[in-house]
Amino acid sequence: MQNSSDVVVVGAGIVGLSIAWRASQCGLSVTVIDPSPAEGASRAAAGMLAATSELTYQETDLLALNLASMRRWPGFVTDLEEATGHRLGYSTSPTLVVGADAADRATLADLAEFQAKLGLSPSRLPISELRQREPLIGPAITSAWQIDADHHVDPRRVTTALRAALCQAGARIVTDRVLRVICSSDRSSVRAVATAAGQTVHADRVVLAAGLGTGRISGIGDAVSFPIRAVHGEILRLRAPASMPAFLAGTVRASVHSRPVYLVPRDNGEIVIGATSREDENEGVAAGGVYQLLRDAQVVAPAVGELELTESLARARPSTPDNRPLLGTSANLPEGLVVAAGFFRHGILLTPVASDLVAAGLCDAQLTAEPGLDPSAAEPRSRDAAIDLTPFDPGRFGHPSLETDLEPATMPGAQHVHPSHG
């Protein structure tokens, strides 16, 4: 392995690949390292860009970042499609949020009121109109809301396109596992990473974007930890027979007897169904999760029972104790270490803003070191003064062994929150 780069990105999920692509666009040499590129949470994700319909009561401090990323998705798609000729399955058809019983109706109405108070625009959809728009919606569905602002994309196509873009840009994707970050002797700055295959790759900027694996990388020092936990979910892929008319026109998210389920149609006839959440040790597909998804999806659209089940998969959503991502640099971390991890339910949605912000920081550092470079690739994306990254400071969690009576100071705002709707 070539043993030095301007930047090492640890993790080749959608976020890591996007950071690497944006960084390579401003002339940086980039090495991406991952034991299974694009096989983690990005492979399972349905690809909903759902800043409104995935808002929960406990996560309002994430809303501005989510909305900033929603605004960047069209430009991200155009850039990547133009760079590679790949189509990303990006669709701006509205998302429908539907409910089955009276409790679901009340829950969705309360949530819509909360969303509206925050300046978002859910609009009530009469049931007659819902049935005209989506004839396959079942009779047990009794309430509906339309969210024009929520869209979807195909994450598998995005990661395939990103790998092609990186290849074109001369960046390397190495299949290996980073075990450790190597710092200067005074531990003030990053120097390299060490891998399971015994390689040392030198770089003075290292981006940790390894999802769940981020918390397992050693060498960041004793004061800080990245306590990323796994929130597993099942995800199913189904295919409509050729004889069936278009299955759904857009994403349908539902509350069925207080359980969440979502159905995301692709333009190739595939339907992705998901929403289960469990924090157990089982990394495999839980039979109960598959049963729950298929049962509830058939309440939403009874014809789900006629589709061919082509894939069932389980993956972990990487989450933090306060459900906010770890994003950017931190005064508590060595210079040159950047984190983009713990995106929980919002990894696909947050990809454009996370990659722009992180890459702008990497490119700005390079511009300072080499003033002759053309800054045009990095500059426009670095000027988003409205984005306050303080709540996402990746150094906000102290090391568990140091959290005694100092806990409130070392873990600002930390709380364990398990939103039920996903």
Per CB under 6 A, 89 contacts ligand GLY: no
Residue 141's φ and ψ, nearest 5 degrees, are -85, 125
Binding of ligand GLY at residue 152 (CB under 6 A)?
no
- CA dist 272 and 309 (Å) reads 10
- What are the tokens at 391? 């709540």
CA gap 338, 219 in Å, rounded: 14
**Whole-number minimum distance, CB 216 to ligand GLY, in Å?**
22
Pick one of 233, 336, 342, 395: the residue that binds ligand GLY (CB under 6 A): 233
Q: Are 149 and 52 in contact (CB under 8 A)?
A: yes
Tell which one of 72, 259, 266, 317 touches ligand GLY (CB under 6 A): 317
Part in contact with ligand GLY (CB under 6 A); list of ranges 17-25, 46-54, 128-136, 357-365: 46-54
- For residues 146 and 251, which CB has a smaller minimum distance to ligand GLY in the complex? 251
Instruction: Supply the minimum distance, in Å, between the C-beta of residue 276 and ligand GLY.
Output: 8
**Least CB distance to ligand GLY at residue 179 (A):** 29
Judged by CB under 6 A, the chain residues 96 through 125 that form the site for ligand GLY are none
Q: How far is the CB of 144 from ligand GLY (least distance, A)?
A: 20
Site for ligand GLY in 330-369 (CB under 6 A): 345
- Candidates 12, 30, 48, 365; binder of ligand GLY (CB under 6 A) is 48
Residue 41 has a CB neighbour count (10 Å cut-off) of: 25
Contact (Cβ atoms closer than 8 angstroms) between residue 144 and residue 122:
no
User: Would you say 61 or 79 has its CB closer to ligand GLY?
Assistant: 61
- 156 touches 17 (CB < 8 A): no
Q: Measured from the CB of residue 54, what is the shortest distance to ligand GLY in angstroms?
A: 6
211 binds ligand GLY (CB under 6 A): no
Q: What 8-state DSSP symbol labels residue 381?
A: H
- Strand ranges, E, within 125-281: 143-147, 151-152, 172-175, 178-183, 190-195, 200-202, 205-208, 229-239, 252-256, 259-265, 270-274
**What's the min distance (Å) between Cβ of 104 and ligand GLY?**
18
Cβ atoms < 10 Å from Cβ of 280? 8
User: 251-290: which residues touch ligand GLY (CB under 6 A)?
Assistant: 274-275
237 near ligand GLY (CB under 6 A): no
* 194 within 8 A of 182, measured Cβ to Cβ: yes
Inter-residue contact 198 to 209 (CB < 8 Å) = no
Report the nearest approach of ligand GLY to the CB of residue 262 (Å). Answer: 7
Residues that bind ligand GLY (CB under 6 A): 46, 48, 54, 233, 274-275, 317, 345, 422
